[in-house]
Structure 1
Amino acid sequence: MTAFAGTLTLTRLALRRDRIQLPVWLVGLIAMAMATASSVTGLYDTAQERAAYARTNVTSVVSRVFNGAVTDPGIGAITMVETFGLLAVLTALMSTMAVVRHTRQNEETGRAEMVGAAVVGRYAGLTSALIVAVGANVVLAVLFASALLANDLPAEGSLAAGAALGAVGVAFAGIAAVTAQVSESARGANGLAGSCVGLAYLFRAAGDGLAEPGPSGMAAESAWPSWLSPIGWGQRIGPFHDDDWWILAVYAAFFAGLVAVAFVLTAHRDVGTGMMPVRSGPATASRGLLSSVGLAWRLQRGVLIGWAAGMAVMGAAFGAVGHDAEEMLGGSDDLTDLIGRLGGGGSLIDVYFSAMMGILGTVIAGYTVQALLRMRAEETGPLESVLATAVSRPRWMSGHIACAVLGTVVLLLLTGLSTGLAYGIATGTMSDLPGLMAAALVQAPATLALAGFVIVMLGLLPRWSVALSWAGLTVCLVIKQIGPILELPQAVMNISPFSHVPALPAGDVTVVPIVVLLSAAIALGALGLRAFRRRDLAY
């Protein structure tokens, strides 16, 4: 038996497990790419508008840090700036989670030990996970290039952009292969890989923030920190400008080195263990862990802290750019009209902040979904032991719901605070801070309505709850971002609870939608609690 025996069989098993999850990722990423590319080509359809965008990008450090440095005033390069950064981060997360799911998670749940009792080689599990992740990124690269070609962008640049996006995913698949060997838990492996994604994004942002403007004033070249980031390498390929294909060799060498390290680590550890030693916990638990809320907080605090740091940075970025919103949006009538549809009426700056708070509120709903789905992870793990004590099902579930709701409110307030402070520092006055915090907090009813939907799925359809919950969030995000662009019918827009949120600070507060959304959230939550109380635990 060789070390790779059974690889093809495990690859087919992994594809069978991911038959829904990976296609949802791919469809969501390509839908986002199609919508963004279509909107960019429509918003900047004249040379004057493209030149104004390029000059604003070159002169605004915040714009370069957040989106990337524009390499050319052409529509292809502008499309790359608007699409590549976010897509690269999401692609990296797709890859890391796929690799960890088929390696460390299998060991943590005991599946790897059972499979290993058959004719399966030492490296088969890791190799099959990498085959699936690399294959998914190849498909994504082809689809992304096709999406750009469908928007009448140049063929060579579209192919280079697709290759760059796929290469980012492959690089982070290699990183996840190593973190899966280092950590003893799937959560720890995903956390380490996610930290690498965040670090890569920061290096990319630093490189673009320090970018040197070109002689024309309409292009900039990223500084050396971007060479420390796989995301920065993708931008360095320069689709629609330089098309430096040789940088793909850097990705190949990086991936090969990481895979070699992962194989060496696999050969030097036992199944179920990690290279990183596990710390022994305290001999006695704190009093806070004696309550269901305290236990839920202990399990969820790390996620909340990570989200808080990310949303604070995002809010500050949007707030700092708000000072230049009138100049950035004034160069394109189409862009002004689009922001108006996203954010309602009022002054251009108020409309800008209304639109941005709506987008940030939808993003924060991702934390709400993640925090609530922690209950599903507990149900397939230690929940049975917990319920064997004096803890009732409603009490246990209410603890997790309370932490998720309070965490959501904290994130919204923190986002409004960071946005208001950054905008106040840029303008020299803090008079808009209360209004921006209110604009963030008013997103809570819609987020809680989505939380009610997640709770119902956990209660009624536990085995499908993860997929359906993330699908619900995806629908809300797509309607929020793409609906105004495509001018979807109001009946379709009404599907998303975020379509009913008052557009502060541009508009006025209307009580009826808030009351209806909160009532829906309470009713759905009660229904989910009742359903969970009456059903068996589902594994």
Structure 2
Amino acid sequence: MGVLLVLWGQRLRRDRWQLVSWVAAIGMFALFAAAAVTQTYGSAAARTEILQVAIATPAILMLRGLPRGAEQGAFTFFLIYAFLALLAGLMSTFLAVRHTRADEETGGAELVAATPAGRLLPNIATLLHGAAANILVALAVFAGFTAQGLDPQGSLTAGAATGAVGLAFLGVGLLVAQFMGTSRGANGVSAALVVLAYLLRGIGDATGTPGADGTTMTEGPASWFSPIGWGQQTYAYSGNRAWPLLLPLALAVVCLTSAWFILQKRDTGASVWGARPGRPAARPGLRSPVALALRLQSGSIIGWALSGLALGLLAGSLGKAVAALDTPGTGITAVMRAMLQAQGVSLTQLMVSVIFSMAGVLAAACALQAVIRLRQEEAAGTAELLLAAPVGRVRWLAGYLLLGAAAVVLVVGLTGLGAWVTLTGSGDSMPADALWETALAQLPAALIYLAVPALVFVLWPAATIAASWALLALGVMLGIFGGMLGLDQNLRNLSPFTHTPVPQGDATDWSGAWWMLAVAAVVAALSVAVMRRREVGSA
């Protein structure tokens, strides 16, 4: 028991800042959401009108949740639960991989296994660590909701649903770590499974059956294939059902049992899916730093690009459905324009702009991963080996920045292509030039998330990974969800996504885009200039 507590303490110390950041962010997001509902949708009539719009608009259900009534607590759960569960799932998978596959990859697991801890106790410590993290998340959600006066029982159910989803993905992350040979691959697969669960939940919500009162829906079949959908079945505040929580807990047990069985059978450092043997000599195309960076990041870039393509196809498909709602004199059209804060363009174009903003987030995530890869190469010591060749520090950094910018263009371009294929074919849904302008408008904000993390990498290398993801999460919360949460406009203006233009023909204001491009160029140039004087090492 003493050894187990020592291992757990080591994990707590190692993750102290990451864990505090995750739990605080999730709790504050719950608090802000509950406060915004009180301030922005204080009357039952306003909440009822929004729910009627949501039920009539599949895209809103995809991004939000399953309507279960206009009561304040149920409405808050509808708005924010799916995103809270998504964050809990990502936190849990990253935690699981960090203390299993990543430790094996660096050799730390083998050193620990040589002590009285053996091979199994470290994994038990990781399990306890992840379980404690998700209990804290559940308590943070409970505290955030109850602080705004929501029903304690419903808040407890909402917190338990979020924590249970996190536990399910903790098990998923531990199991995936047994299959993948690298932490990068394990993180990629685990995160993809979390996003898939979010999408399946969204598809189930969008294809559900509306209730007779116009404010409730019954989920579609796809929701039952998603742990996030299982947590949603608790009907927090409107039903407070406990039995759906058994499903994510059962998934966690199955994954943990499977991971335990595999761990006992394999060697330390090995994996179920072994890495393919490499070539005896590098290809001629790997003779430049940019080519090497592309080789190292090609898998993740392809993944983000395909996600953008899928999002574009979704935008086009939903845009056609939304076009049927864009008729004069309907309350739905008026409410949708108020929600999206734009006038003078079709409801279809507004909806496409909202979905394309998510493509901007994907492109930003792809961009900052290029910078994160820089830090990972430096921390692992491989950067020093590369820079021992005729490759300067500035050329090394500039190559990654160039690759990150190209990846941003690729993600946004494929998103536009997917929407163009599905939307403009009907001839009257949305002009092609407006569609491509909407896609182009996402580039400046995404490039900000390439330049700013690069400057962080140059000035404070150890903070690169945590600061990059924290900045993106803050930008999404303020810029993408800030309007729905009713946050102050001055606060929302801190996010680059707030300044992304919504194309409105000749009336489009592109000033925000030009300013963001200028800021990105200046910050990127500054990072390259400062890189000339920075030492490169593993510290």
TM (norm. structure 1) is: 0.88
For residue 411 of structure 1, what is the aligned residue in structure 2?
Answer: 411
Q: Helix, strand or coil for the counterpart of 1:6?
A: helix
Q: Does 1:91 align with 2:113?
A: no
Q: Deviations over 1:288-325 (max 9, x none)?
A: 22222222112222212222232333344455255367
Deviation at 1:526, TM superposition (A): 2.5
Q: Does 1:394 align with 2:394?
A: yes
The match for 1:31 among 19, 25, 28 is 28
Q: Does 1:339 align with 2:337?
A: no
For residue 530 of structure 1, what is the aligned residue in structure 2?
Answer: 529
For 1:464, the aligned partner's letter is A
CA separation in 1, counterparts of 2:365 and 2:32? Answer: 20
Change (3 A) 1:325 1:99: farther
For 1:339, the aligned partner's letter is L
Deviation at 1:441, TM superposition (A): 1.5
Change (3 A) 1:201 1:481: closer
CA separation in 1, counterparts of 2:134 and 2:166? Answer: 6
CA separation in 2, counterparts of 1:514 and 1:199? Answer: 31
Deviation at 1:407, TM superposition (A): 0.9
For 1:361, the aligned partner's letter is G
Could you tell me which runs of 5 or more consecutive residues in structure 2 were left unpaired when the two chains were aligned. Answer: none
Q: Helix, strand or coil for the counterpart of 1:534?
A: coil
Change (3 A) 1:496 1:72: closer
CA separation in 2, counterparts of 1:377 and 1:532? Answer: 16
Contact 1:351/1:506 (CA < 8 Å) preserved in 2? Answer: no
Q: Deviations over 1:366-413 (max 9, x none)?
A: 221122211111112222222222333222222211111011122223
For residue 121 of structure 2, what is the aligned residue in structure 1?
Answer: 124
Mapping of residues 107-118 of structure 1, within 5 Å: 107-118=104-115
For residue 254 of structure 2, what is the aligned residue in structure 1?
Answer: 257
CA separation in 2, counterparts of 1:250 and 1:514? Answer: 45
For 1:291, the aligned partner's letter is S
CA RMSD of aligned residues (A): 3.0
Deviation at 1:45, TM superposition (A): 3.5
For residue 155 of structure 1, what is the aligned residue in structure 2?
Answer: 152
Contact 2:231/2:248 (CA < 8 Å) preserved in 1? Answer: no
Change (3 A) 1:77 1:430: same
For residue 173 of structure 1, what is the aligned residue in structure 2?
Answer: 170
CA separation in 1, counterparts of 2:159 and 2:312? Answer: 30
CA separation in 2, counterparts of 1:512 and 1:192? Answer: 39
Q: Helix, strand or coil for the counterpart of 2:16?
A: coil
Change (3 A) 1:483 1:277: closer
CA separation in 2, counterparts of 1:211 and 1:514? Answer: 38
Contact 1:354/1:503 (CA < 8 Å) preserved in 2? Answer: yes
Deviation at 1:165, TM superposition (A): 0.6
CA separation in 2, counterparts of 1:507 and 1:138? Answer: 52
Mapping of residues 186-201 of structure 1, within 5 Å: 186-201=183-198
Contact 1:463/1:538 (CA < 8 Å) preserved in 2? Answer: no
Change (3 A) 1:473 1:251: closer
Q: Does 1:143 align with 2:144?
A: no
Change (3 A) 1:523 1:326: same
Deviation at 1:84, TM superposition (A): 1.7
Change (3 A) 1:216 1:480: closer
CA separation in 2, counterparts of 1:533 and 1:325? Answer: 56
Mapping of residues 137-536 of structure 1, within 5 Å: 137-319=134-316, 320-321=318-319, 322-323=322-323, 330-331=331-332, 336-337=337-338, 339-340=340-341, 343=342, 345-347=343-345, 349=347, 357-358=356-357, 360-381=359-380, 382-419=382-419, 421-424=421-424, 428-429=427-428, 431-481=430-480, 488=488, 490=490, 495-505=494-504, 508=507, 513-536=512-535
Residues 94-103 or 124-133, more deviating: 124-133
Sequence identity, in percent?
32
Q: Deviations over 1:216-236 (max 9, x none)?
A: 454222244433321121112
CA separation in 1, counterparts of 2:4 and 2:405? Answer: 43
Contact 2:27/2:143 (CA < 8 Å) preserved in 1? Answer: no
Residues 365-374 or 220-229, more deviating: 220-229
For 1:451, the aligned partner's letter is L
CA separation in 1, counterparts of 2:11 and 2:213? Answer: 51
Q: Deviations over 1:100-150 (max 9, x none)?
A: 101111111112222233331321211111212111111111111222223
Count of residues in correspondence between the two structures: 531
Change (3 A) 1:330 1:430: closer
Could you tell me which runs of 5 or more consecutive residues in structure 1 were left unpaired when the two chains were aligned. Answer: none
Residues 208-217 or 272-281, more deviating: 208-217
For residue 69 of structure 1, what is the aligned residue in structure 2?
Answer: 66
Change (3 A) 1:359 1:32: farther
For residue 101 of structure 2, what is the aligned residue in structure 1?
Answer: 104
CA separation in 1, counterparts of 2:247 and 2:32? Answer: 30
Q: Helix, strand or coil for the counterpart of 1:380?
A: helix
TM (norm. structure 2) is: 0.88
Change (3 A) 1:460 1:64: closer
Q: Helix, strand or coil for the counterpart of 1:279?
A: coil
CA separation in 2, counterparts of 1:463 and 1:153? Answer: 40
Q: Deviations over 1:180-226 (max 9, x none)?
A: 12222111221232232234334434433442334445422224443
